[in-house]
Every structure is written in structure tokens, then in C-alpha cells.
Structure 1
Amino acid sequence: MKRKLFFFAAILASVFVSCTPEETESPITHANETITQPTTWLKSEGTHTVTGTTIVENTSLTIEPGTVIKFSEGAKLIVRGQNSSLTALGTTSLPIIFTSASNAPAAGDWIGIELNGVLPTTTMTFCTVEFAGGNNSYGAVNISGCAVNMTSCTIRNSNSYGITVSTNTNYDSKFGTFTANNISNCLNAPIRIHPNFVHTIGLANIITTATGIEIPGGTYTQTDETWKLQTVPYVITDDLTIANTSNTTLRIEAGSILKLASGVSINVSSSGNYGSLIAQGTELLPITFTSNSNSPQAGDWDYIIFKEGATGCIFDHCIVEYGGANSSWGMIDLQKNAQLSVKNSTIRHAKHYNVEAEDQTGFIAFENNTLTKANGHLMKIRAMNINSLGTANVYNTDTNSGIYVTGSSSNYNYIEQNATWRAVNTAYFIEDPLIVRNNAILTIEAGAILKFMEGEIMQIGESDSYGKLIAQGTAQLPIIFTSSSPAPQAGDWGGIRFTENTLEGSILSNCKIGYAGSSSSYKGNIIVYYSAANNPVIENCEIHNSKYFGIYLKKTSGNLGNPLLSGNTYYANVSGEIGQDD
């Protein structure tokens, strides 16, 4: 009997000695649990399974490297409260896994992890969050009213967003750090975040999703921050305003792509507030503002408008395309006193105008840009602002369109400061009377083409206000003043009028002036009042197809206009070469 008992005891002892702790411990289940004391979930405890909602309330939850947490259908983990924190510090070899409890896991099996108002020490590193997204309004990770640190984490297979960062403007919801993370295979955007905190998305992230980082509009008010280059575009789904009572600056990193949803606009500055948008790309890494459509078309989005109070704005090596849905504004629209420099950029495929600057301001710089449109005018601009169009710009459109020059609400195109209109590879189309006054000198470069709409005129000087025109072409590059009609006829426009207040030294040389003489009161392509002897000089010009005379001399205080004429050619003028008042 004693031998039997001893043998049985030996067997039991050997069983206990041979068992490891992992073999004896069972998986832990957290069923609708509320944690109120500092707690650590250990890898050695086996798999942790969450059913229902587990809440960490005003305390800390620490998860050991290598721990696996499985979530049943519809389950979620909430960490909330100003004294709460989540510390999940995995490693490369021992990542922490948040996953589905299903034997056949699929996106949306569980809800996700919600971090609400937690301490800024909340950190996730080398964590994998997968098969979540059971609530279409929230991400696999949802951040609200706090700053969360995420490094080297993987978010994948979400049936909703990857990460949602609350856009409620009453709370600061953002990342403390967000670097070297990997987000893939999300039904919605990989990240949804308010424009004020996009800059908290850091570097070295690899995002491979069908859609980009969603920015749901709103007002950006940060002092000076940068939206960094990511592996997917930023997608702006509602109007974005860049403005604050003190100046606010948004910078876009070279190579970034911003996609705008249907009807969306970017507004730089607003009434009483100030803003600056600086988009400086490079030749190899341009910044692109484009449509969010998979089949982009002109007019998919609205405009980027620079309003009064927009200061120091820069577009350099940018591509702006497929906007311009609103006929009242250009795809890029410059309003009064706004400061904008545009260089080395491609502006194309607007529904209406690619660029508009019809208010009382011009560009700080506008150089080496290419504007392209299948048909229709490329730019709408006031005459006073044309001087701000610099060199090396290329304008590509049909032959009946170009740069549309308007007087805007005043209905007059005034030149009141010295200005130069450069010769470009398209024409200037003049909508309203073009008047040089206030002692201004308008210089037109050789090779420039000015096309005037029905009945419009060019006038040098005005009553009690003087002006001067210098239009000196060459035999190879004449300056052309003509009708805007595709099928021009004599009398289409009103001609060039040199008033009695034309400053001496005005000149038309190697110019072609045709199809004017629309008014019986001003019977010529060129009308000259007496301003001084031999003024203006008209030489080596072709003057043709006038409804009346080529040149008509008007009488002022008994004196006829007295231009200096030399080497001109006249043809197809209905009433003859030169006429005059009786």
C-alpha cells in the first residue's frame, strides 16, 4: 500500500514540474469591463479577449510587448479622462496586436480603440491594429480632445477610416508624434483630421490606400506650420479658410498633392483676418492642386482665392488644374491688396478663367508660368494689373482667346501709372475703354497684339489729365491693334484716340492698326487732336480697313491735330487715307 501511494505522489509531482506557466494559464476575457485602477496586460497571461466595451476611466492601462488582444464582434476599447493613458510599447520582434477574435477575420469585425481626452503621455509603438472599423464614422483608432503618440504602428484592413482625429473645434485633437507608421487597406480615408492639426502628421509614414488623407474643411489658424509630404494626397472635402486675427501661415511641402472635392474652395484671408499660403515646390517635386475625381474635368472644384489681407503668398513650381467652376472668380483669384507671387508654375484646364486679377491689385511676381486651356480666355485682368505680368510666361489657348482685359465694375480700363505691356504668345482682348491718364506712360513691346471688342477704344489723355503712348514695333515684330472678331470687319472697334492731353513723345512705329472707325464722330482708325506740333509720331505703320478714314484729324480751339507722319501704308479705308474736321 505504501509503495502504491508513493508511486502516485511521484507521478503527480512529475506532472506539476513538467508544466510551464503558459500551459496552465487560460486566456483572459474582458467583458464590458471598467478599469479604474492602474492596470497592466501581460503577454504571459495569454491572449486577452475583449467583448462588448472595455473602458479605462481616469487611470492608466499598460500593455506589454508581444501581447495579443482580440476583440469580439462589435467590441471596442475606450481610454478616457484627463488622468487616463494608454502605454502600448511593442518592439520589432514583439509587436502588440489588436485584432479580431474571429477565426475568419474581416474588416469591420470590431469597432476600434477610442482615446478620449487622455494624457499626452499616451503612446503606441510597434502596434498592429487590424480588422476594426465596425463604425463607419470612426477609425480603427479614434482620437478626441488629446494628443497621441504613434510610432512604427500598422493600421490595416479597416472597414472605415484608419485613424480619425476629431474635427470638433472645441477640442485640440492631434498627434503628439506620428512617424514611420504604415496604413493600408482602409475603406475610407487612412486619416481624417482638422486642417489645424494636419502638420502633426510626421515623416516616414507609408500609406497605401485608395484615398488620401481627408481634411474636412474648416479654418486653419496656426501661426506657421507645414503640411508634410506623404505617400498619398491630402483630400480637402469642404471649403478651407486660412485666416486669423493675427497673421497665420500655412506651408505646403514640395511634392505634396492636394485634391479638392466638388465645389470646394481655398480662401486665403477673410474679412478682418489675415493669412498666408506658401506652396514652394521644386522642378522635380512640384506641388499639385487638382481634382479629387478619378476622371478629372475642368470645373471639378472651385477656386483658390487670395483676399484682402493675404500677405506674402507664394506659388512656385506648382500645378493648379481642373478648377474654376465659379464663373465669378478665376481658378486662382487675386483680390484687392492681396500679395501673391506665382513663378515656374503650370495653371491649366479651368472651366472659366485660369487666373483672375480684376481688382485693384497685381501680382508681386508672375514669371515663367504656363497657362493652358482648350478654348476660352486664360486670364481676366484689369489693365492696371497687366504691368505685374512678368517675363517668360507661355499662354496656350485657341486663336480667338487670350488675356481678357476688363475695367471690372468701373467699366473703364485706366492706366494711371507707368506700365509696360509685354509681347506674349497670345493677344490682349480689351473689353472696356482703355484710357492712359494721370501723366502715365504706357509702353507696348514689339510683337504685342491688342484686340478690341465691339465699339471699344484706346484713348491717350483725358480732360485735365495727361497720358503718353509708346508703341514701337519692328518690321519683323509689328505691334497689332485690331478687332477681336474671328471675322473682322471695318468699324468693329473705335480706334486709337490721341486727345489734346497727349504728352509729347507719343509714338506709333511699325504698328498695324485695322478694322476700326466704328463712330461717325470719330472717323478713323487713328484720331488725333491737337496737343503739340508733330505729336504723336506715326511712322512705318499699316493703317487699314477703317469704316471711315485711316487717320482723322480733329480740331481743338481752331487747331487741327498735327501728327508727324512718315512711311505709312494705307489700304481698304472706306473714306480714304486721311480726313479732318472742317
Structure 2
Amino acid sequence: MKTPLIRPLGLLVACAILFPVSMGCDDESSEDNSNQNNTPDAGEACPTPTSGPTIHSGEITADEVWTHDTGPHLITDNLSIQAKVTVEPCVRVEIAPAVRVNVEEKGALIAEADAERPILFTAQEASPWGHIHVSDPGVARFRHVTLENGGANGTTYSGATLVVTANDKRPLKTPVRVENVTVQGSVGLGVLMRGLSGFSEGSTGLTVAGSGASSEFSYPVRMAPEAASTLPEGTYTNNAVDAIDLFAVPQDVQANVTWPARGVPYRIDENIVITGGGHLQVAAGVTLSLGEGVSLIVEGLGAGELETQGTSALPVVVERADPKLAWGSLRVEQGSQMRLAHTKLRGGGADPVTWSGCSLVASGPNDLPLDPMLGVTDVTVSESAGYGVCLYGAAAFRPDAQGLEVTGAGAQSHEADFKGLRHPVLIGASALGTLPEGEYTGNARDAIHVDSHLGVVGEVTVRDVGVPYDIGGDGHLVVGSDELSGTLTLEPNVALLFEQGMSLDVDINGVLDAQGTSSAPVVFGSAAEIPSAGDWIGIYFWGPPVTESTLDNVRIEHAGADCSCVGFSCHSEVYDEFAAVLILDWLPSQAFITNSSFVSIAGHGVNRGWTSDKVPPDFTVTNTFTDVALCAQTLPKPETGQCPETLPCP
């Protein structure tokens, strides 16, 4: 409802008594107040009004046009817009303290001007006004408009000057368009987008400044994660906290969404789940500021995808909101994909129990075949509380993965909850061939941690990535099986270091191809901080194999732990059969270990644990044995006759 005020000369005194100077009873005082309230300078394009002011309050149920000549327009009590209100260029709207303007479901507020004739919504007094609240399917259009000094609405609307509300049912609603709009001086948030509400197509040039000066709600904009793709280009600095707050219901992404770079971080304080086939793209130059324990999760059941699109000049950054508190992880689950390009992950890994303190997690199937679900291109993971990158189960890197750097992993490994979580990468044995070349140094433990429980199936080539591989798991790293073939190829300078009590088992359908060089041997050794003889069991070769293995220029050290094997060779009658290499129940065609060294072995060097009358291959011809506790090689059992009474130690 509007009430025009006629201002004949004889009533100027009465006008001054009835209305404060800020209401514009006379031209001079109105101009002064305009400057005081930072009104855009309209210059000569906006002449002095002659027929105002006009008062508005209550309900508007029929279309209205608010003209400049009848201004200023004074909203003295809460206003409910249930029809179309058009605000013309040059109009100044002054709103009383804590008063709200509600654009209802059938309403429309159209305030469209130009740079020379802007529109201003401002406080009528020193105290802030409430807000403009647009409730979908009501609409609002703002062009060359300033909304200033609002937000007196308490915690319900978080001190925002512009509030937009839609329900949380998809699809996304976009009831508000802004073009060259400024929201400044809000008590709390500048703009609050509730539910699944966003800015409409064509929105651009939004400036939000001075938000949160006197409130706990300190961001320029708060909106749902799925709505962030509608955030206009603009300026979001000079607020109490310069970040876009992605905190609203629903807290998931089920559509194709791009988070654009807008010059300030996105603040995330609750987990965001990409599900239902959703595809979240994070544009180049975006920074995600995550709260304590917060994760971005690509849910497996929904076949979703998370993609970062950084560049070398404009990387995507994921960092701590609080420098002292680790965020959770970027996590992709079975059946979904994650592809990261030119991305820096800093200070994640808050969960030591479920996700081993990892910042980047791929949770794959429990059984083979491999699921290549994690893509990385020039990605850096730094200062993880525990591991840097974890690939669980049959998770693997995508074939095009390259340029992974992990440093500072195990940042909290000195704490009881994170004890032992200190490697740059945790990965399954069958996925080792997918590990990209990169940099894996500067961590609490500079080694790739290999989970052995699924074994090696298929063709797996382990490359030299500059650090060794620590082999852990359920006691045995098995290559092949009775039914499935597996080939483990180790390139020169690769070192497999086995945790206490572990062994490498080459099954009948397995092949171990380890061919180093004299200057870059392949090493099989101990993962202990201070290695010693007998730290791990050794290498089993079960047979007869389909294809014999080849070991050339390798170094086997600190093996010879209890293998619980008895009765395979003649030496079992005198000695334990512990050995660095155990060839059990088959006769090799030749000595398939050549030009190699056995060092610091608690048992025998090679246990020739077969039964045959044929001349056995001799493993001492080209190999060296240093600090071997028992024999360099044992004597096989004869097929006929008995073992000699005096056993040589050849």
C-alpha cells in the first residue's frame, strides 16, 4: 500500500516536524542524507523529486510503479508484495529499522536502472533495516541497484540484507537476477540463498562488501553447494570473512554443477556428498576452505564424479579453514570417478580410524579386477595428518595419471591415534602398476605402503619412483594363484621392503621378473627402521610353475625368519629350513637367480626343497653370500636312496 505526501510550500514546516530529515522533506536535506548514506552519485540524470515522499507498508495486492518524482519512497512497516512492483531508475527507497520487504509467491520486485540513474535501498535511520526476502516462485530483478545497511533480522535470516528462499526439492530454482548490484554494510551475511535457490541466468556484477561487521554471520554469501554454480561474477571482498559459505540444505550435489572462481574461497563446514549421478566441477583458481574433519565425497552408488580443472597458473587449492585443524578427505567410492588436475591438497586427513589419516581416498571393490577410479595430473598432497593418498581394495589410478607429489605425510604420526600412519601412499599390490611417477619424499616415512591382501593378479610392473615399497598386510604377498595368473615385474633400482614376518609367495601361475643392473639392483629387504637378519621370511617359489621366474642383479637381505617349513631338503634333518629363497616341491630347469647377492640372512641362502635324482642347479656359481647364518644352498632330497650322513654346506 502506498500513500503519497503532497508538499505545498505552506506545509514544509509540518513536513519537517512529521518526518526526519532523512525522509527527504526538502531537497537540500535529502541530498545531504544521500551523501551520508553513500548513495551513488546520479548527477544531473536524476532531478530532484517534486511529488514525494511516498509511504509504503502492509500488503501490495495490485501492480504498482514507484517513480522517482514521487520519492523518496519510505517503507515504515513490514511490506508484503503480492503483485508486481516496478521501481524506476533514480528511485531512493528508505526503510525503517528492522522493517522487512517480503516478495511473496505471487509477487515480483523489478528494480532495473542504469549506471547514470541507479536505484538505492537504504536505512531510513541510523539503525539497520531488515531485508528484502524473495520467496520462490516470487521473483526479483535488480539492475544497477545498491542495497545498503540492512540485515536487522536476527539469527533466522543470519543478518542478511538480501534473502532468497526456495524449497529443497530439485530442480534448482533461480528467482533472482542481479546485474551490477551492490550489497553493502549488512549486519550479518550479505546474501542468504535458502534451500535450492540460486541466481538466474544473466546475473553478473554482484558486489558484496562490509558484511558481518556486527554479527557472527560474517560471509558475503551463503548458499547450497548445488546453487554455487549460479554465483555471479563480481567482488566479494572487504567483509568480516571473505569466503562464500556453502552451507544449506540440501548438502549434496545431484546435478552437473561447476563452482566458478570468484576471487575468494568457498568455505565448507559440513560434508558435501556427490550422488545420484551428480558431476561437480571445480574451476581453475578456486580455493576450497574446509572445516575440521570435513570431506567431499563422491558416493559410489550414484556413479558420480568430482573433477578439478586447475591449471599450472591457476591451480585448485583445498586447505584448512583453521590452520590448526585438519579437514577430512576428498573421497571417491566404488563405481564413481575422481579426476584432479593441477590441484593442491593441504592439511587433510582428520580421520585416523576409518580412512587412515588420508587426504585423498579411493575406496574400491573388495575383490579384483581393478577399478581405475582416481585420476591425477600434477597434483600435490601436503601435510596430511596420516597417509597422503590411500587406495583401498581394488582401487587404482586411471591410466593417464601423472605428476603426483606427496610431501609432509604423517604430520600427526607422533600422536597415538595416528601412530604408523606416515607414508605418502597406501595402495594395493595389483594396483602398483598404476602408481604414477612423481615425488614421494619429505614424509614421516618415505616409502610406498603396499597392502598385500589381494595379491598380484595380471601384469603388474613396479617402477622406480625414488622411494622403496613397504610390503604389509596379512603376512604374504602372493603373485598368481592356483587359478589366476600374475606377473610381477620389478624395474631396476626398485626396492621391496617387507614388514616383520612377511613373505613374497610366487605361486604356480605366478612369475617374478626382477632384472636390475650392477649399478641399480632390485632389492628385497626389511622395512624395519634398523634392519637385522631374520626380519622377514623370504621369497617362496611354489611349483612346478607354468613359467619360471627370472632374478638377475638382485639383492636379498635381512631375510630368513621362521617359515614353518620342514622336510623339504636333506638339511631339514640337521638345520631349520629357514631361507631367503625357498624353492619347494619342484626342480628348476636352471639356476634362475643370477649375478645377485644374499646379505645378512638368518637361515640358508637358497633352500632347494625338492626331491630328485637329477643334478640340481647350482645357485652359488654367479651369486654371492655374505653373513648367511647357515648354508648358501641346501641339498635336495634324492628320489632314491638316503640323504648323506654328513651334509655338506655347499
State the TM-score bracket (shorter-chain normalisation). 0.7 to 0.9
Q: Shift in Å at residue 571 of structure 1?
A: 0.9
Quote how far apart the aligned CAs of 1:505 are: 4.3
Instruction: Show the counterpart of 2:328.
Output: 302
Paired letter, 1:117: D
Work out whether 1:349 is the aligned partner of 2:377: no
Question: How far 1:207 sits from its partner (Å)?
Answer: 4.2
| Secondary structure of residue in 2 paired with 1:385 | helix
Contact 2:393 2:454 in 1 (8 A): no
Per-residue deviation, 1:158: 1.0
Checking the alignment, whether the CA contact within 8 Å between 1:554 and 1:561 is kept in structure 2 is: no
Distance 2:456 2:618 in 1: 23
What is the aligned partner in structure 2 of residue 468 from structure 1? 511
Q: Are 1:537 and 2:617 counterparts?
A: no
Asked whether the 8 Å contact 2:254–2:278 carries over to 1, the reply is yes
Identity of counterpart residues, as a percentage? 23
Q: Is it true that 1:70 corresponds to 2:105 in the alignment?
A: no
Helix, strand or coil for the counterpart of 2:455? strand
Maintained 8 Å contact 2:268/2:291: yes
> Which residue is equivalent to 1:423?
464
Give CA deviations for 1:483-507 in whole Å, capped at 9, x if unaligned: 1111111111011112224444412
Pairwise CA RMSD: 2.5
Instruction: Determine the structure 1 residue equivalent to 2:360.
Output: 332
Does the CA contact (< 8 Å) of 1:27 and 1:45 recur in 2? Answer: yes
* Displacement of 1:94: 1.7
Match of 2:487 in 1: 441
Checking the alignment, whether the CA contact within 8 Å between 2:612 and 2:636 is kept in structure 1 is: no
Q: Counterpart in 1 of 2:278?
A: 248
Give the alignment partner of residue 194 of structure 2, picking from 161, 166, 180.
Answer: 166
- Equivalent residue, structure 1, for 2:55: 29
Structure 1, residues 480-539: CA drift from partner, whole Å, max 9, x if none?
111111111111101111222444441221111111100163411122235443445212
1:398 is displaced (CA, Å) by 4.4
What is the CA-CA distance between 1:275 and the residue it aligns to?
A: 0.6
Q: Counterpart amino acid of 2:283?
A: E
What's 1:84 paired with?
107
- Deviations along 1:263-282, one digit per CA (max 9) or x if unpaired, are 211111243x2211111211
1:175 partnered with 2:221: no
CA distance in 1, matches of 2:133, 2:614: 88
Deviates more, 1:71-80 or 1:571-580: 571-580
CA distance in 2, matches of 1:224, 1:560: 69
The counterpart of 1:152, out of the listed 164, 180, 202, is 180
Give the counterpart of 2:440 among 395, 399, 402: 395
**Equivalence map 1:421-570=2 (5 Å):** 421-432=462-473, 433-437=476-480, 438-461=484-507, 465-519=508-562, 521=565, 522-529=577-584, 531-535=586-590, 537-556=592-611, 562=617, 565-570=620-625
Give, in whole Å, the separation in 2 of the partners of 1:34 and 1:53: 9
How far apart are the structure 1 equivalents of 2:251 and 2:542?
A: 52
**Does structure 2 retain, via aligned residues, the 8 Å contact 1:531–1:561?**
no
556 and 215 in structure 1: CA distance in 2 versus 1, 3 angstrom threshold: farther
Query: How far did 1:203 drift?
Result: 2.9
Distance in 2 of aligned mates of 1:206 and 1:351: 32
Q: How does 1:5-20 map to 2 (within 5 A)?
A: none
Matched, 1:203 2:233: yes
Paired residues of 1:281 and 1:316 also in contact (CA < 8 A): yes
Amino acid in the other structure paired with 1:405 = V
Q: Using the alignment, how far apart are the partners of 2:184 and 2:591 within structure 1?
A: 76
- What is the alpha-carbon distance in structure 1 between the residues aligned to residue 518 and residue 509 of structure 2? 29
Q: How many Å apart are 1:356 and its aligned residue?
A: 1.0
Structure 2 residue aligned with 1:292: 321
Q: 1:351 to 1:501 in 2, by over 3 A?
A: farther
For residue 141 of structure 1, what is the aligned residue in structure 2? 162
| Structure 1 residue 97: Cα displacement | 1.0
Equivalent-residue separation in structure 2 for 1:398 and 1:581 (angstroms): 46
User: Is 1:175–1:201's contact at 8 Å kept on the other side of the alignment?
Assistant: no
Q: Which one of 359, 363, 381 corresponds to residue 397 of structure 2?
A: 363
Mapped to 2, the partners of 1:374 and 1:495 lie a distance apart of: 29
Aligned AA (1:394): E
* 3-state SS of paired residue (1:241): strand
2-structure distance, mates of 1:507, 1:338: 29
* TM-aligned CA deviation for residue 134 of structure 1: 1.6
SS of 1:387 mapped into structure 2:
helix
Closer, same or farther: CA 563–322 of 1 in aligned 2, 3 Å:
farther
Shift of residue 361 of structure 1?
2.6
Give, in whole Å, the separation in 1 of the partners of 2:49 and 2:388.
Answer: 71
* 1:129 maps to 2:120: no
1:406 corresponding residue in structure 2: 451
Over 3 Å counting, the alpha-carbon distance change for 1:310 and 1:559 in structure 2 is: farther
Question: Of 242, 246, 270, which aligns to 1:215?
Answer: 246
**1:62 CA drift (Å):** 1.0
Distance 2:150 2:445 in 1: 57
Q: Please give the secondary structure, in 2, of the residue aligned with 1:306.
A: strand
Question: How many Å apart are 1:64 and its aligned residue?
Answer: 1.4
User: 1:413–1:359: structure 2 CA closer, same or farther, 3 Å change rule?
Assistant: closer
Contact 2:440 2:446 in 1 (8 A): no
**Structure 1 portions without partners, runs of 5+:** 1-10, 13-18
Question: What amino acid sits opposite 2:256 in the alignment?
Answer: D
Q: Say whether residues 1:95 and 2:118 are aligned partners.
A: yes
Distance 1:425 1:505, change over 3 A: same
What is the CA–CA distance in structure 2 between the aligned matches of 1:205 and 1:174, rounded to whole Å? 15
Task: Quote the Cα distance in structure 2 between the aligned partners of 1:379 and 1:261.
Answer: 24
Do the aligned partners of 1:180 and 1:206 also contact (CA within 8 Å) in 2? Answer: no
Distance of 1:91 and 1:317 partners within structure 2: 40
SS class of match (1:572): strand
Distance 1:268 1:419 in 2: 27
Shift of 1:417: 0.6
TM-score (norm 1): 0.87
How many residues are treated as equivalent by the alignment?
Answer: 540
How far apart are the structure 1 equivalents of 2:372 and 2:531? 38
- TM-score (norm: length of structure 2): 0.78
> Residue 258 of structure 2 contacts residue 282 of structure 2 at CA under 8 Å; is this kept in 1?
yes
Q: Which runs of 5+ in 2 are unaligned?
A: 1-8, 11-25, 28-46, 167-173, 213-217, 365-370, 411-421, 566-576, 638-650
Paired residue type of 1:484: A
Is the Cα–Cα contact under 8 Å of residues 445 and 472 in structure 1 kept in the other structure? yes
SS at match of 1:264: coil
1:289 to 1:400, Cα distance in 2 relative to 1, 3 A: closer
AA paired with 2:488? L
Aligned equivalents of 2:346 and 2:207: distance in 1?
30
Cα 1:73–1:501 change in 2 (3 A) is farther
Post-superposition offset of 1:156: 1.1
Distance change (3 Å), C-alpha of 1:559 and 1:405:
farther
> Is the 8 Å Cα contact of residues 347 and 354 (structure 1) preserved in structure 2?
yes
How far the C-alpha of 1:33 sits from its partner, in A, is: 2.2
The CA distance in 1 between the partners of 2:231 and 2:621, in whole Å, is 70
Q: Secondary structure at the match of 1:152?
A: strand
